[in-house]
Structure 1
Amino acid sequence: MTTTSSVNGTTTSGINDTLKSSSSSAAELQNNFLKMLVTQLNNQDPLNPLDNSQLTSQLAQISTVSGMQTMNATLSQLLGQVSASRAMDSAALIGRTVMVPGKLVSVEGGVPGKIGLDLPSTADAVTVDVLDNNGNVVRTIDMKGQTAGVHDIAWDGKNNAGVAVADGDYTFKVTATANGASVQPVALVYGKVQSISGDSTGVLVDIGDGQTANVDDVRRII
């Protein structure tokens, strides 16, 4: 009598390899599984038939993989629909002024753009440094202690000597500590939303000057 142990072992191995293949669709997995199973049953040794527990285990595996692939496809469709819906809803922000993470502040006619910060927790010391294009500090603003939340930064467009700075682009950085440890503040800028777009990270708001931010990071809308 022809032995079938190698057939059974090969078929089981083939099924496991198929189950591990991420490129196979749920339908392909089912078709391949059924073909392998029929081959396995046809060639099994009558004196040593396929164990019921092994068959049950294989059926459970194909059912699980098929179900997961179907669920993943459904979730992907739902996420796509949610993303499209959020993009449409976010279109209402066009033309509105928002406060988002950023470090660029422009001075026009001696008037600086509005800036702010977000503190995740209360800080006993908050300092803001405004820097020119060469990285030199032109103004240091001591905001002292601040509670957690979003705060505006009052800068009059002057340097530490009280002289108005030249028009142009500046950057600023925020330092905030509590008991000597940083509370990880977030620098914020205001800008008018020019357009809405999207990428792999989600829906983005464009506030001009090459500055974009995820709509989830909008701290304030005016």
Structure 2
Amino acid sequence: MTTTPPVGSNTQGINDALKSGSASASELQNNFLTMLVTQMNNQDPLNPMDNAQLTSQLAQISTVSGMQTMNATLSQLLGQVSASRAMDSAALIGRTVMVPGKQVAVEGGVPGKIGVDLPSTADAVTVDVLDKDGNVVRTIDMKGQTAGVHNIAWDGKNNAGVAVADGDYTFKVTATANGTSVQPVALVYGKVESISGDASGVLVDLGDGQTANVDDVRRIL
């Protein structure tokens, strides 16, 4: 008498195919049931399939099939949520926002607005403004600050009180509490020109190739 391999021996292959997306859940479920019927028709009468084994195998294919269906549904929901967030974020176009960054430009002797986000209270906060060569041109002592978003007051002058040349600068913030860094986040202001999206989520375009995730917006003016 011809015998067929137990369905359980093929379940792993079916599960792998489902997870890889190489076949639909309904197709593999039909194949599974076909193999199950064939096995039952050709089983050894002296060693029939155990009911518990049959139940277990049916539960496996049902569970994996259900997971694929659920994943597809969740993907659709996430897509709808993402599209909805993009539409809501469109209201930011034309608004000035504060996002993570370390670039600051000086034009006409006036520097761009900058800030810092402190995750927790710091007893010492220091800001260093650097030129294009990495030299410190200005050090700003903000002393102690509470947790939250704070503007950094820079008048566009160096440590000698002389106005710096127009151009691009960078800045870094050091903030500590009892000698330990509180992990400050340097912030810059920018005007939102458009809204876009990628795998990371909804993005705000601030011009000059600068983008930021909408979730990273700290302040809106």
1:175, 1:182 within 8 Å by CA — same for their partners in 2? Answer: yes
User: In 1, distance between residues paired with 2:101 and 2:208?
Assistant: 11
1:192 is matched with: 191
Q: How does 1:30-69 map to 2 (within 5 A)?
A: 30-69=29-68
Whichever residue aligns with residue 193 of structure 1, its letter is V
Q: Secondary structure at the match of 1:87?
A: helix
Offset at residue 28 of structure 1 (A): 1.8
1:126, 1:142 within 8 Å by CA — same for their partners in 2? Answer: yes
Q: Which moved more, 1:94-103 or 1:18-27?
A: 18-27
1:73 is matched with: 72
User: In 2, distance between residues paired with 1:127 and 1:43?
Assistant: 80
1:167 is matched with: 166
1:96 is matched with: 95
Q: Which moved more, 1:161-170 or 1:14-23?
A: 14-23
1:15, 1:36 within 8 Å by CA — same for their partners in 2? Answer: no
Render the CA deviation track for 1:146-186: whole Å, top value 9, x for unaligned: 00000000000000111000001111000000011100000
Superposition TM-score, scaled by structure 2 size: 0.96
Moved over 3 A (4+): none
Superposition TM-score, scaled by structure 1 size: 0.95
Q: How does 1:206-217 map to 2 (within 5 A)?
A: 206-217=205-216
Q: Which moved more, 1:19-28 or 1:167-176?
A: 19-28
1:133 is matched with: 132
User: In 2, distance between residues paired with 1:191 and 1:122?
Assistant: 26
User: In 2, distance between residues paired with 1:84 and 1:106?
Assistant: 34
2:16 is matched with: 20
User: In 2, distance between residues paired with 1:8 and 1:112?
Assistant: 76
Relative to 1, partners in 2 of residues 1:47 and 1:3: Cα closer, same or farther, differing over 3 Å?
farther
User: In 2, distance between residues paired with 1:30 and 1:83?
Assistant: 32
User: In 1, distance between residues paired with 2:135 and 2:175?
Assistant: 20
User: In 2, distance between residues paired with 1:145 and 1:172?
Assistant: 19
Q: What are the ranges of 5 or more consecutive residues in structure 2 without an aligned counterpart? A: none
Offset at residue 3 of structure 1 (A): 6.9
RMSD of equivalent CA atoms: 1.1
User: In 2, distance between residues paired with 1:15 and 1:114?
Assistant: 61
User: In 2, distance between residues paired with 1:172 and 1:215?
Assistant: 22
Render the CA deviation track for 1:10-61: whole Å, top value 9, x for unaligned: x321122112222232112211111111111111011111110000000100
User: In 2, distance between residues paired with 1:156 and 1:171?
Assistant: 15
Q: Secondary structure at the match of 1:169?
A: strand
Pairs aligned (count): 218
1:112 is matched with: 111
Q: Secondary structure at the match of 1:118?
A: strand
User: In 1, distance between residues paired with 2:72 and 2:217?
Assistant: 31
Q: Secondary structure at the match of 2:74?
A: helix
Q: Secondary structure at the match of 2:174?
A: strand
User: In 2, distance between residues paired with 1:103 and 1:127?
Assistant: 14
